[in-house]
Structures are given as structure tokens and as C-alpha cells.
């Protein structure tokens, strides 16, 4: 059965069901395709993050033939819901390194666009069907400054990855963060959950 619901209705339904679906005093519920009891098998967020990392790396190797990376305490952002101080919340769980890397990316992209304004334009192949897939052919139009834009974007990416690696190496699995958000309030708060 498929239900079409407004965000506010979905939020209310999730809040009502959370005491039955969630675990622990805060009724924590990880929005993953896991049976309820499977989450109980993890003693810590790090245990879950390690298992999720191994799953993601196996998928990357299988689908894209990519070389895997060792686990360093990195948690792929994961969505959950729970009660915080008695109030229903949606949260995104992050490792500290992923949280800060994401912020570096956001701020860096804003700065790059300030320095070299650009827009995405459709390329000639965009939207064409190839088998079961569609081609994504979008290109940056920076008014003749595309080479400079590519250089800045490459440097930003290298900085972001470098900082993430330093944070992971120095922090290990020691700190996890979450960002909480409630649809109606659009409230975002970062907290250490270590």
C-alpha cells in the first residue's frame, strides 16, 4: 500500500509510532532497512558505523570496481528519529570528520561561486536514454573562466579530502555528531554525541 502524505502528516504519524518502533529511553529509530532487532546487535554507534562502512565499501567494489578504503571511524550520514528532551526529532548522525568535511564543502562552494559565478547548462547528450539509464550531461558556464573554475573546484576538493583524512587519523572513532531537524520548525542544531 502506498500512501501519499504531506510532510506534517508524515511527521505526526512517525511521532505517534516511534514509542513502538524505537529502542531505549529516547525511542531511537534508525531509518535504515534493518529489522528492529538488528539494530540491537550493535553495542555502539561505532559498531554500526564500522558495519555500514564495510557494506558501503563492498557495494563500491561490486558496482563501480573501486578500491576500498580502510575504516577510520567515518560514519556515512545516517538519518534517524528519536525523542530529545521529550520532543520528537529527526536527526542525521555524522562522524565529526564527515560533519566538518560537509561544512568545508558548503562554505567552499559558496566562496568559489562568489569568485567565479557560473551556472549549469545542458550539454547535447543530457537526458538521452542509454539502456536502462539516462545520460547526465550538464556543464559549467563561467563566462569563459571555466579553466579557473575547474582549478578552484579541484583545489577545494583536495583540501576537503585532506582535512577529512587528517581528522579521521587524529580522531579515530572517538566523536560522533548529529544535526537535528523538525520539518515544521526547520531547526538545525549541531551537537556532539560522543
Give the pLDDT score at 114: 96
Q: 191 falls in which pLDDT band (50, 70, 90)?
A: very low
Residue 133 lies in a domain: no
Going by DSSP bridges, is the β-strand pair 133-134/129-130 parallel, antiparallel, or unpaired?
A: antiparallel
- pLDDT tens-digit profile of 92-130? 887 777 788 888 999 999 999 999 999 999 999 999 999
How many domains does the chain divide into? 1
Say if 140 falls within a structural domain: no
The verdict on residue 16 lying in a domain is yes
Examine residue 91 and state whether it is found in any structural domain, yes or no: yes
Domain, as residue range, for 31: 7-117+173-192
pLDDT tens by residue, 6-54: 777 878 888 898 888 888 888 888 877 676 677 778 777 778 888 888 8
Q: What pLDDT is stored for residue 1 in this prediction?
A: 43
pTM of the complete model = 0.62
What is the rounded radius of gyration, in angstroms, for the C-alpha atoms of the chain?
20
Question: Tell me, what's the pLDDT at 178?
Answer: 57
Backbone CA torsion sign across 62, 68, 72, 77? negative
Amino acid at each position: 500500500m502506498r500512501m501519499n502524505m504531506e510532510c506534517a502528516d508524515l511527521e505526526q504519524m512517525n511521532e505517534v509510532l516511534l514509542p513502538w518502533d524505537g529502542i531505549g529511553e529516547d525511542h531511537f529509530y534508525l531509518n535504515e532497512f534493518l529489522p528492529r532487532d538488528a539494530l540491537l546487535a550493535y553495542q555502539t554507534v561505532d559498531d554500526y558505523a564500522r558495519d555500514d562502512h564495510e557494506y558501503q565499501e563492498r557495494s563500491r567494489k561490486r558496482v563501480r570496481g573501486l578500491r576500498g578504503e580502510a575504516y577510520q571511524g567515518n560514519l556515512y550520514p545516517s538519518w534517524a528519529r528519536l525523542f530529545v528532551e521529550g520532543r520528537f526529532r529527526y536527526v542525521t548522525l555524522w562522524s565529526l570528520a564527515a560533519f566538518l568535511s560537509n561544512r568545508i564543502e558548503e562554505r567552499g562552494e559558496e566562496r568559489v561561486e562568489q569568485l567565479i559565478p557560473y551556472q549549469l547548462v545542458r550539454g547535447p547528450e543530457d537526458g538521452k536514454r542509454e539502456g536502462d539509464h539516462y545520460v547526465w550531461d550538464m556543464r559549467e558556464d563561467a563566462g569563459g573562466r571555466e579553466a579557473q573554475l575547474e582549478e578552484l573546484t579541484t583545489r577545494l576538493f583536495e583540501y576537503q579530502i585532506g582535512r577529512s583524512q587528517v581528522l579521521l587519523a587524529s580522531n579515530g572513532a572517538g566523536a560522533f555528531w548529529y544535526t537535528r531537524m523538525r520539518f515544521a520548525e526547520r531547526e538545525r542544531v549541531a551537537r556532539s554525541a560522543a
